[in-house]
Structure 1
């Protein structure tokens, strides 16, 4: 049984598994994944982040958490995978992938069999979010294929769209039935985000005959930079920020839980901050 089939078997047991992916680095993929996990935990969900960005793993940096034993280390030492899970960081558990880009690629067949058996630890969770690397390997693609859905993180820049489409094309040709959702990050407005999604949607429909869905957008919010510097996830740094409210709207699409109504003063202050930042 290949890796993707084993992962699907795990999925059937319980958790919703989502691969957060991007065609290029620097689009905020990890930030979106981390804050989605925290927001889900706030809803009472049991959540695990698997930092699969081997070699560039930075989930622990954004969450100001000590890096624990890695998934690769436990596999090589034949230690139970549960020993590498870092518990309860902002209500979320973390599994760090590894520190070298070639480590995952060079896992032996015996290593992969052990890893697949140990991944049954994932059945303890309601949601397992995989923070995938920007590049694609055969092994990482199999993990993506084993997930319930892939969330593609885009920004409105042409390079993000081009690389995002190339990544989608690669995944689609191998796993055409994998559902794909799009989150547009760092958008100046809802209109800009929708235009970005529509360009991707047209390309996927015309050249891949693939239907994709729009999950929502996250605005270009100054509080994100401040949160990153403070090593505090933005959803914890400022719950009343525009981006936190937009994240809750995305979670409505994911979970069906309606977002909390926004207080008039929150909306007013958010609009005033936007105007001030333009000055």
Structure 2
């Protein structure tokens, strides 16, 4: 992906490219990616999601969008990549990877030349978010290497931590200088989330000599289940929910834009909802 890096360098305002990754499935990676994109759009940013979670691609499901022509279709038919982008789905643009990302390694020289030229479509955005598949392949690692940063999605379970560290180790071996941020999802409290991050941080510093940063956490919130059933991003379904407020804190870390202050009643209702869900 060195060529992609050079392509971005040619633009005056290159997009920020972020790979959303996880060591295992079922940690809510796609949901975090989608709602981060929605939050960025609400801040006035132009955002593209590239769905590379092959076999488990569900960005379109969470956004209640139909599947369109894929990135692979464009390359094989020599159709401009921009023509495969779904525009304005909840304000976000979507580009589907295709049925098999590893087809990239089977590209002819002409295929790859066309593909790299067409990547210029990415330069019209402020943020390009790559929803990577769980686990690592040689091809997915190449995409991650081309990004500005990787966001690792963890949950407090030991299996998520173990698989997340193994994934980080593979990425670090390929791209030792790639910045790594951690979002802890489905945490019962800020304390639990911080403990989860600290365990990952100690492992990375001790065994990989790598520093990582804590981006924030998202609570285990019933709003998410309601949003998935309704096929609406939780940030749109309930902006006053605890998880939406926490997402705004992550967006502040990402963009530097301060979150709106929560009023007393919003904080009170959030606390009552959490207590009710535990009963």
For 1:19, the equivalent position in structure 2 comes to 19
Say which is worse superposed, 87-96 or 6-15, in terms of deviation.
6-15
8 A contact 2:102–2:139 mirrored in 1: no
Which portions of structure 1, spanning 4 or more consecutive aligned residues, are displaced by more than 6 angstroms? none
For 2:214, the equivalent position in structure 1 comes to 214
Residues 4-49 of structure 1: CA deviation (Å, up to 9, x unaligned): 2122123332100000000001100000000000100000000000
Task: Map 1:42-57 onto structure 2 (within 5 A).
Answer: 42-57=42-57
Correspondence 1:152 to 2:152 = yes
CA drift of 1:112 comes to: 2.5
8 A contact 1:105–1:137 mirrored in 2: no
8 A contact 1:219–1:243 mirrored in 2: yes
For 1:170, the equivalent position in structure 2 comes to 170
The separation in 2 between residues aligned to 1:110 and 1:52, in whole angstroms, is 22
8 A contact 1:21–1:29 mirrored in 2: yes
Residues 213-246 of structure 1: CA deviation (Å, up to 9, x unaligned): 0000000000100100111110111111000000
- Unaligned stretches of 5+ residues in structure 1: none
Normalised to the residue count of structure 1, the TM-score between the two structures is 0.96
Normalised to the residue count of structure 2, the TM-score between the two structures is 0.96
8 A contact 1:11–1:148 mirrored in 2: no
8 A contact 2:51–2:131 mirrored in 1: yes
Superposed CA RMSD: 1.1
Residues 46-99 of structure 1: CA deviation (Å, up to 9, x unaligned): 000000112221100000001110001101111110010000011110001112
The separation in 2 between residues aligned to 1:107 and 1:226, in whole angstroms, is 41
Task: Map 1:9-88 onto structure 2 (within 5 A).
Answer: 9-12=6-9, 13=11, 14-88=14-88
Counting matched residue pairs gives: 276
Residues 139-198 of structure 1: CA deviation (Å, up to 9, x unaligned): 211110110000000000000000000000000011100000000000000000000000
Q: Structure 1 104/62 Cα, relative in aligned 2: closer, same or farther at 3 Å?
A: farther
The separation in 1 between residues aligned to 2:260 and 2:17, in whole angstroms, is 25
